[in-house]
Amino acid sequence: MSHNAESTAFRSALEVIRAVEPRVADAIGAELTDQRESLKLIASENYASPATLLAMGNWFSDKYAEGTVGRRFYAGCQNVDTVEALAAEHARELFGAAHAYVQPHSGIDANLVAFWAVLADRVESPALKKAQVRQVNDLTEADWFALRRELGNQRMLGMSLDAGGHLTHGFRPNISGKMFDQRSYGTDPATGLIDYDRVAEAAREFKPLILVGGYSAYPRKVNFRILREIADSVGATFMVDMAHFAGLVAGKVFTGDFDPVPHAHIVTTTTHKSLRGPRGGMVLCGPELADQVDRGCPMVLGGPLPHVMAAKAVALAEARRPDFADYAQQIVDNAQALADGLLRRGATLVTGGTDNHLVLIDVSGYGLTGRQAEQALLDSGIVTNRNSVPQDPNGAWYTSGIRIGTPALTTRGLGTAEMDQTAELIHTVLTQTTAGANADGTPSKAKYTLDADLADKIARQATDLLAPHPLYPGIDLA
């Protein structure tokens, strides 16, 4: 698609939308402007290609398609079958997986599918066997009681939220923390790194049904071979949530012991983030879990979103191109350059650096909470998100950390030199921000003071830094 064709496509779409609800069209245009002008450092965000974006806005949105390829509960799904099969094929080839399920609407949905697939595969009861063959009408009230008892109170061992794990790895307010009797493993207090011996000890003591690997805020590689050995030693199913680093796996930056697919029984991921696709989820597994995974809809999912599956197929096809490996490596190079730039300026980083796409700054060294730092940076045109650090004294709401990542800026073409400049901007904002006080004079975890002129200056410098690397240069909405 030529640049002119891209502009025509998006301009035409906005004209059609504006004729019905101009405020929506204006918001869409404003979002593009904001993204073009902001230094986007949220580790879980990226920029999908125009082809991926356009694949979501079409007639596939009108289709119901419960079931799987060739086994739908609705007629007329032959074209949905085509795009779902293509997305699954690209996923299998890209990651070297035996089976791919591309229907989940999000990473949380993908995890729920995985959890229930493992439960259904591992927990034996007469009631469950009936449910597995869809004889729901034959289940008595006693069967349902036995089924709930069998499926409930199973054990999960996953990384704690403050150590870098995700809320779906057993965090109590999330459904995963209610489904499972859960225990967390943390990181070494001195280094911030996973202590595999302690994980093994916890597994032997707790004997989980599922051992979860993966993270949302851990800035290092994970040895999935060792975690699989730990899971095998206690008879656990080993599940990996690679939502954050799927692009690094796809781009062959993480290989061998650091590629989860050969080691895990089941792998979940999002399709956005470092994979640079549409917002959605995916499950990869071997043949032994494939049948259970394919029951994700209607087990826990609503109807599949065919337009998003079409976009997944496009994005996964893009990720199979040779240049995606270069992109994935540049993500890591940029993250390490950003970390080095911050360290040279005196910042404190969890684990002292990074091996992947993200950097976690402990902003308590600047006298700030994560919430104060996040907002001060946003005032200055730098988009980040606050995040807990290990043993965080400020909890999960205010936090003591800022998580930053490089996938989006790498998509725009920024390199290591610009990462050092980015580190300078971040450090300047944080050093010039002071914590505020509540009305009664007590220290506030939310209020802060930052000179407005300085914030404007940093925002202009951020815009200047981005200027040589325009976002969607082929799209002109004017």
DSSP per-residue letters across 33-85: HHHHHSEE--TT-----HHHHHHTSSGGGG----EETTEESSS--HHHHHHHH
Q: Is residue 283 a part of any domain in this protein?
A: yes
The number of CA neighbours under 13 Å toward the Cβ of 419 is 28
How many whole angstroms separate alpha carbon 37 and alpha carbon 469?
Answer: 11
Q: Do 352 and 455 sit in the same domain of this protein? A: yes
* pLDDT the model gives residue 179: 77
Q: Is residue 243 a part of any domain in this protein?
A: yes
Q: Is residue 9 a part of any domain in this protein?
A: no
Q: Do 332 and 449 sit in the same domain of this protein? A: yes
Q: Is residue 10 a part of any domain in this protein?
A: no
* pLDDT the model gives residue 135: 47
* pLDDT the model gives residue 1: 42
Instruction: Give the active site residue among 72, 220, 276, 279.
Output: 279
Q: Is residue 412 a part of any domain in this protein?
A: yes
Instruction: Give the active site residue among 168, 237, 268, 270.
Output: 270
Q: Do 437 and 351 sit in the same domain of this protein? A: yes
Q: Do 328 and 402 sit in the same domain of this protein? A: yes
Q: Do 274 and 145 sit in the same domain of this protein? A: yes
Any bridge partners for residue 180, and if so which? 154
Contact criterion met (CB below 8 Å) for 161 and 388: yes
- Please name which of 240, 316, 299 lies closest in space to residue 83, comparing C-alpha atoms: 316
Q: Do 137 and 236 sit in the same domain of this protein? A: yes
Instruction: Give the active site residue among 40, 72, 155, 273.
Output: 273
The number of CA neighbours under 13 Å toward the Cβ of 185 is 28
Q: List the domain range (segments joined by +) for residue 367.
A: 323-466
3-state secondary structure of 123: coil
Q: Is residue 31 a part of any domain in this protein?
A: no
3-state secondary structure of 295: coil
* Location of structure tokens 């650096």: 353
Q: Which of 291, 319, 347 is the last residue of a domain?
A: 319
Establish whether 89 is a catalytic residue: no
Q: Do 286 and 303 sit in the same domain of this protein? A: yes
Domain of residue 361, CATH code = 3.90.1150.10
Q: Do 212 and 315 sit in the same domain of this protein? A: yes
The number of CA neighbours under 13 Å toward the Cβ of 211 is 30
Q: Do 243 and 354 sit in the same domain of this protein? A: no
Q: Do 75 and 218 sit in the same domain of this protein? A: yes
Low-confidence ranges of the chain (pLDDT < 70): 1-3, 123-139, 143-153, 170, 172, 177
Number of separate domains in the chain: 2
Q: Which of 258, 292, 319 is the last residue of a domain?
A: 319
The one-letter code for the residue type at 160 is S
Q: Is residue 456 a part of any domain in this protein?
A: yes
Domain of residue 237, CATH code = 3.40.640.10
Q: Do 78 and 95 sit in the same domain of this protein? A: yes
Instruction: Give the active site residue among 6, 241, 259, 362.
Output: 241
Establish whether 66 is a catalytic residue: yes
Q: Do 295 and 428 sit in the same domain of this protein? A: no
Q: Which of 299, 319, 339 is the last residue of a domain?
A: 319
Establish whether 460 is a catalytic residue: no
How many whole angstroms separate alpha carbon 441 and alpha carbon 323?
Answer: 55
Instruction: Give the active site residue among 64, 196, 257, 416.
Output: 64
Q: Is residue 54 a part of any domain in this protein?
A: no
